[in-house]
Structure 1
C-alpha cells in the first residue's frame, strides 16, 4: 500500500540519517536535512511503482507524473519488473547522483542545487499522494506543495547535495524489501528471471520464496493490505513521526 511504502521510506531515512536517540546516525545530517530528507525518501520509496502508467502516483502531479510513469514503464518492462529488481537500486542512485551535480553558483546563496530541487518536485508529489495529503483533482495544490517543499530541498542542498543519491537509493531499496514481504514477490535478478524446477514448486514455504514465475520473496506479511502489514505499518509510521518531531525540535532549538 502506498502510504505504508511512504512511511517506511521516511522511517528508513530517520534511522540512517538521524542523530537523535533511537537512530543509527550512519549518514548524519542536520535537523532540516532530517526533516526534508524524510519527505524525499518517502517519495523515493514510491518510485518503483512509477512503472505503472495507470497507478495512483501516475496521477500525483499531472501531467508530469503521467509522462514519467509511461517512460519508466516502457524502459522497465511494466509493473513489478525492472524497477523492483536489485538492478534498480544502483541505477536509481547513479541517476540521482548525476542529477545532483546540476547546479549553479550564486553570490547570495552559494551553490544552488537545481538538479536536487527538480527531482524533489516529483518525489515530494509522490510522498504527498502516498500519505493521501493530495487527491484526484487537486493538481493545483499538489504542484504548490511540491514546488514549495522542493525550494526548501534546494536551499538545504546548497552546501551539500550528496544526500540525494543516498536518499533515493534507500527509498527504492526499502520499497523492494517491502514488496518481497508480501505475496507476489519481486523479480530480484531482472532481466534474468530463472524459474525453479518442477519439484520445487510442490514444496510449501520454499515455493513462496522462489516462485513459479521466477520471482522471489519472503511473504511473512501475507497479501497487500493484510492485518500483518498494518501491524508493521503502525510502529513504522510512529517512528517516522518521531523523527519528524525530533527534526522540528532541533530546528527550533537553534
Structure 2
C-alpha cells in the first residue's frame, strides 16, 4: 500500500479505537480519557506511526523524509531486519515500538519530542508533503511542519502515545496483508499472512476505492468525536 493510504488508515484506526480505549469497565486504570486536542494529536501520531514499518525500505517514500539521515537509517534498519516487509512488518515490532515510545513519552521528555518530530515527519511525507524531484526542498518542508507540530503538542499530556504508536504500526501491517505479498505478522515465524483484497499497490482499487473510503471515515469520525465531546461538556455544565 502507498504512504497516503497507510497514513489515513492509522488516523482512522485511532479515531475508531478511542471510544473503546476510554471504557473504564474494559480497561480499568489503563483507560484513557482525551480532550479534543489530545484526540487530534493522537490521530496525527497514529498516522505517522502507520509509516514506521517502512523504515526497512531504503528507497521508500519515508526514506527521503529528512534527507541523508533517514536514507541511511532506513538502509541499516532494512539490513538488520532482513529486508523489506520482514521483522518491522509484524506484531512484535508494533508492540516493541508502542512500549518504547510509551517509555519515552512518560519518562524522557526530550527524547519523546525527538521521536515525535520523526514520526510526524514520516506522516507528512506519507500524505504527500513533498516537491517532486526536489528532495532538499521536500526535506526542509517536512522539518519545518514537523517542528511546528511538535511545538503545538509539546505541552499536551501524551501518556497515551504508546497506544497510538502500536495501533499505527498494526494498521500498516494489516494494510500490507491485503496485498499479494502479505506480511510475516507473527515474525520471527516466516509464514506470511496474505488476504489479497488489493491486487496492485497504487492501483485503481487503492486509489479509487480504499483511499476515498478511508478519507471519508477519518472526516466522519473526527467530526463525530469533536462534536460528541462538545455536547458532553455542554450537558455537564448545564
**Greater mean alpha carbon deviation, residues 125-134 or residues 56-65:** 56-65
Determine the C-alpha separation between the residues in 1 that align with 2:181 and 2:21: 31
Q: How many Å separate the matches in 2 of 1:248 and 1:15?
A: 13
Structure 1 distance, partners of 2:71, 2:42, is 24
**Cα distance per residue 1:26-70 (max 9 Å; x no partner):** 544110011111111111001001111111101012243224313
Aligned to 2:26: none
- Distance verdict in 2 for CA 1:218–1:165, change over 3 Å: same
Distance 1:154 1:14 in 2: 21
Task: Give the Cα–Cα distance (whole angstroms) in 1 for the partners of residues 53 and 152 of structure 2.
Answer: 24
User: Please, which runs of 5 or more residues in structure 1 have no aligned partner?
Assistant: 104-112, 194-213
1:55-74 alignment, distance < 5 Å:
55-74=60-79
Unaligned runs of 5+ in 2: 24-31
| CA positional deviation for 1:220 | 1.9
* Cα shift readout 1:75-116 (whole Å, capped 9, x = no counterpart): 21111000112211211112112222334xxxxxxxxx3233
Q: Is the 8 A contact 2:62 2:122 kept in 1?
A: yes
Q: Which residue of the partner structure matches residue 36 of structure 1? A: 41
Aligned to 1:218: 195
Change (3 A) 1:127 1:192: same
1:153 and 1:234, CA in 2 relative to 1: closer, same or farther beyond 3 A?
Answer: same
Any conservation in 2 of the 1:36–1:152 contact (CA below 8 Å)?
A: no
Count residues with an aligned counterpart.
217
Aligned-partner Cα distance in 1 for 2:71–2:161: 23
| Structure with greater helix percent | 2
Partner of 1:145: 145
State the distance in 2 between where 1:225 and 1:13 align. 23
- The aligned residue for residue 210 of structure 1 is none
Aligned-residue CA RMSD (Å): 2.4
Structure 1 residues 34 and 14: alpha-carbon distance in aligned structure 2, compared to 1, 3 A threshold: same
Give the corresponding residue for 2:211. Answer: 233
- Name the TM-score, length of structure 1 as normaliser: 0.77
The answer to whether the Cα contact below 8 Å between 1:184 and 1:217 also exists between their aligned partners in 2 is yes
Question: Would the alpha carbon gap of residues 93 and 138 (structure 1) be closer, same or farther in structure 2, given more than 3 Å must change?
Answer: same
Greater radius of gyration (CA): 1
Q: Does 1:162 align with 2:159?
A: yes
TM-score under structure 2 length normalisation: 0.81
Q: Is the 8 A contact 1:48 1:84 kept in 2?
A: yes
Change (3 A) 1:117 1:248: farther
**1:114 alignment partner in structure 2:** 110
CA distance in 1, matches of 2:153, 2:80: 28
